[in-house]
Amino acid sequence: MTFEAPKAPAEQITYANLLFYGSWGAIAILMITFFLYVTGVFESYIPINEVSQYWSMPVGQYVREANIPIGWGWATLLGNGDFLNFIGIVLLAGMTIVCFLVILPYYVKQKDIAFVVLVILEVLVLCLGASGLLGTGGH
């Protein structure tokens, strides 16, 4: 005897759909921008044949020597092939925040106070992480 599969709650389906399109879109963008980077369509901030000089350094030294902006400073360098890749990476890292904001009204409508608070707190935590306000500058 088989049974019909229990339906996932509406907010879970919305979250899943948004995550599906968002993350695959981000990965597609990442592959396109990487292709543009390695083919030299856009000039790189760090010349591509010099990158290997930096990747074995601690991040603090890399930031100083290559003059890499920390926090959201990369956004000012999007015209460069290497930093162009950050669009896809940031979309990947930002999808969860978008998904939580979209499902928040479902819990408000259900008057589920505990989950309204949990979703708001989660968005605040993720935004705090994304803000660039936290950090020691690396060792």
> How far is residue 26's CA from residue 133's CA, in Å, rounded to a whole number?
24
* Least Å from the CB of residue 88 to other proteins: 8
* Least Å from the CB of residue 16 to other proteins: 4
Out of 41, 43, 48, 105, point to the residue binding other proteins (CB under 8 A): 48
Site string for other proteins, 58-97 (x = CB under 8 A): xx--xx----xxxxx---------xx-xx--xx-xx-xxx
CB neighbours (10 Å) of residue 10? 12
- Count of residues interacting with other proteins (CB under 8 A): 75
Instruction: Kindly state the greatest CA–CA separation across the chain.
Output: 67
Q: At 52, is the secondary structure helix, strand, or coil?
A: helix
If one asks whether residue 105 binds other proteins (CB under 8 A), the answer comes out as no
CB neighbours (10 Å) of residue 3? 5
* Least Å from the CB of residue 2 to other proteins: 4
If one asks whether residue 54 binds other proteins (CB under 8 A), the answer comes out as yes
| Residue in 131, 41, 38 with CA at minimum distance from that of residue 79 | 41
